[in-house]
Amino acid sequence: MHDVRELIELGPEAVRRLARRRYRLDLEVLGAAHRRRGEGLEAVAALRGELKRASRGPRPTEEGREELRRLRERVQQAEAAVRAAELELEEALLGIPNLPLDAVPDGDSEKEAVEVRRGGPPPRPAAGAARHHADLGESLGVLDATRAAALSGARFSVSRGPGARLERALASFLLDLHTEEHGYTEYAVPHLVNRETMTGTGQLPKFQEELFATAVGGRELFLIPTAEVPLTNLVAGELLDTRALPIAMTARTPCYRAEAGSYGRDTRGVLRLHQFEKVELVRICVLDDAPAQLELMVGQVEECLRRLELAYRVVLLPAGDMGFSARMTYDIEVWLPGSDSYREISSVSDCGAFQARRAGIRHRTAEGRKLPAATLNGSALPIGRTVAALLEQGVQPDGSVLLPEALVPYTGFRRILPGGAVER
């Protein structure tokens, strides 16, 4: 969420920057709401002062008691007006996306993303003809789309045998890498969170249609779309010591997404599911350090892909294609020979102070100043998409799939054979 005073002070500059996200900021409406709140607070302060002075007088007469009663009513009415003005202002601010940084390119879609670099082996089929991971998964006996659909309908997946073992191995490999080498603390967090938690990271109120919700016994809870939500909110409302920053957190969780508006896209395989697992990274730091922390996190995602021997590229997203809370985002895209294209496997975002203001995350400097922190988040990595890349890039001429050396200590095998057998 924005500081309304900063938006008003930026004026036309804020309008220009938000227009790059195809968002029209109405400064007049925002300014009027801000003034109503300020005038209301002044009125409340004046009435409270008048009431205080009147209460300190001699023992009141009947007429004096009536005047005190009227003053109290006026104070209550003024306070109600302030609450209404604050609610109006908060609702307006909650719907305004983050301001993109000037380094972010213009554009509205992935077509305008700017390629930064490529990494890993050359982007080509591992051997023989390229095959889609859905076909490979079926021939290997590790993915079962038919039974998944029978259980839950479209956009769900079932893994079996070596496929399920591979998913478990990937999660353990990634968590070990991030905790033992990258300095993250691992958390096990709830998969159901309340409305306040979802609002803190920007999923609500704007994206309610994208979320799965449940209400049992009158209690409203939301299934998390990413571990970013509970991880970031672990320090919601806290005043952190600047010397303790940055904070680095990671978790493996299922993620639940309605994927509203994406029907007809990626209907085969595991690229766009309603439920998938992911290892998430979250960092909390001082605002000035956020750009350096963003580059660090991108490098950590790249290290995952290098060790998994996967071809990838890094792109800088345009302003109109970033997430609501981000001010700058890098997508890391993995090469999928089966579709002859690079596809997103991770997004790493610098959210500046946007989420911290919404969630009340601040830090106290050595001089005693209380400032909003900065938050960053990134996928490192989603399990299903990584499996898809391993299958498509690792397929051999005989239809088997060769896995990277880094995973062998976790899987116990190096090769998956057609039919579901393994070779150690």
Q: Mind listing the pLDDT tens digit for each residue in 73-92? A: 999 999 999 999 999 999 99
User: What domain range includes position 89?
Assistant: 4-94
- Quick check: is 132 in a domain? yes
Judgement on whether residues 280 and 393 belong to the same structural domain of the protein: yes
Q: Pick from 53, 68, 94: which residue ends a domain?
A: 94
Judgement on whether residues 378 and 263 belong to the same structural domain of the protein: yes
User: Residue 177 sits in a domain of what CATH number?
Assistant: 3.30.930.10
pLDDT at position 161, please?
96
Question: Is pLDDT larger for residue 242 or for residue 217?
Answer: 242
pLDDT at position 200, please?
97
**Is residue 305 scored above 70 in pLDDT?**
yes
Angle at 322 between CA 317 and CA 327, to 5 degrees: 95
Instruction: Using pLDDT thresholds of 50, 70 and 90, give the confidence band for residue 127.
Output: low
Question: Is pLDDT larger for residue 75 or for residue 267?
Answer: 75
* Entry pTM: 0.92
In the chain, count of helices (H) and strands (E)? 13, 17
Catalytic one of 20, 165, 385, 415:
385
Judgement on whether residues 80 and 193 belong to the same structural domain of the protein: no
Instruction: Using pLDDT thresholds of 50, 70 and 90, give the confidence band for residue 327.
Output: very high
List Cβ neighbours of 22 (8 Å cut-off, separation of 6 or more): 108, 320
**Is residue 285 scored above 80 in pLDDT?**
yes
Q: Is 124 a catalytic residue?
A: no
pLDDT at position 212, please?
96
**What is the number of domains present in the chain?**
2
The two tokens of residue 94 are 């909650």
**Is residue 224 scored above 60 in pLDDT?**
yes
Q: Which of 67-81, 86-100, 258-272 has the highest mean pLDDT?
A: 86-100
Instruction: Using pLDDT thresholds of 50, 70 and 90, give the confidence band for residue 306.
Output: very high
Catalytic one of 67, 90, 110, 344:
344
SS3 119: strand
Q: Are 388 and 339 in contact (CB under 8 A)?
A: no
**Is residue 261 scored above 80 in pLDDT?**
no
The two tokens of residue 331 are 């997508």
Q: Is 272 a catalytic residue?
A: yes
Judgement on whether residues 81 and 139 belong to the same structural domain of the protein: no
- Quick check: is 105 in a domain? no
Catalytic one of 20, 21, 257, 358:
257
Nearest to 311 by CA among 130, 160, 81, 102: 130
Judgement on whether residues 213 and 248 belong to the same structural domain of the protein: yes
Judgement on whether residues 84 and 118 belong to the same structural domain of the protein: no
Q: Mind listing the pLDDT tens digit for each residue in 390-409? A: 999 999 999 999 999 999 99
Instruction: Using pLDDT thresholds of 50, 70 and 90, give the confidence band for residue 264.
Output: low
**Is residue 362 scored above 80 in pLDDT?**
yes
The two tokens of residue 180 are 């033992």
Instruction: Using pLDDT thresholds of 50, 70 and 90, give the confidence band for residue 365.
Output: very high
Place of tokens 């439920």: 275
- Quick check: is 101 in a domain? no
Judgement on whether residues 346 and 233 belong to the same structural domain of the protein: yes
pLDDT at position 24, please?
97
**Is residue 117 scored above 90 in pLDDT?**
yes
Angstrom distance (rounded) from CA 60 to CA 381: 71
What integer is the mean pLDDT of 287-313?
Answer: 98
Longest dimension (CA), the chain: 101
What integer is the mean pLDDT of 216-229?
Answer: 95
Judgement on whether residues 40 and 10 belong to the same structural domain of the protein: yes
Q: Is 35 a catalytic residue?
A: no
- Quick check: is 356 in a domain? yes
Catalytic one of 346, 347, 349, 379:
347
**Is residue 249 scored above 60 in pLDDT?**
yes
Please give the full DSSP string across 268-284, using - where no structure is assigned.
STTSS-SEEEEEEEEEE
Q: Is 36 a catalytic residue?
A: no
Judgement on whether residues 328 and 271 belong to the same structural domain of the protein: yes
Q: Are 40 and 80 in contact (CB under 8 A)?
A: no
- Quick check: is 235 in a domain? yes
Q: Pick from 94, 122, 150: which residue ends a domain?
A: 94
- Quick check: is 10 in a domain? yes
Judgement on whether residues 85 and 185 belong to the same structural domain of the protein: no
Q: Is 53 a catalytic residue?
A: no
pLDDT at position 262, please?
59
The two tokens of residue 130 are 């390229």
- Quick check: is 100 in a domain? no
pLDDT at position 400, please?
95
- Quick check: is 102 in a domain? no
Judgement on whether residues 62 and 114 belong to the same structural domain of the protein: no
Catalytic one of 72, 74, 272, 357:
272
User: Residue 51 sits in a domain of what CATH number?
Assistant: 1.10.287
**Is residue 34 scored above 60 in pLDDT?**
yes
**Is residue 263 scored above 90 in pLDDT?**
no
List Cβ neighbours of 267 (8 Å cut-off, separation of 6 or more): 154, 155
SS3 93: helix
Nearest to 348 by CA among 396, 385, 283, 297: 297
What integer is the mean pLDDT of 254-278?
Answer: 85
CA-to-CA dists, residue 371 to 151, 227, 289, 368, angstroms: 49, 25, 13, 10
Judgement on whether residues 84 and 116 belong to the same structural domain of the protein: no
pLDDT at position 124, please?
67
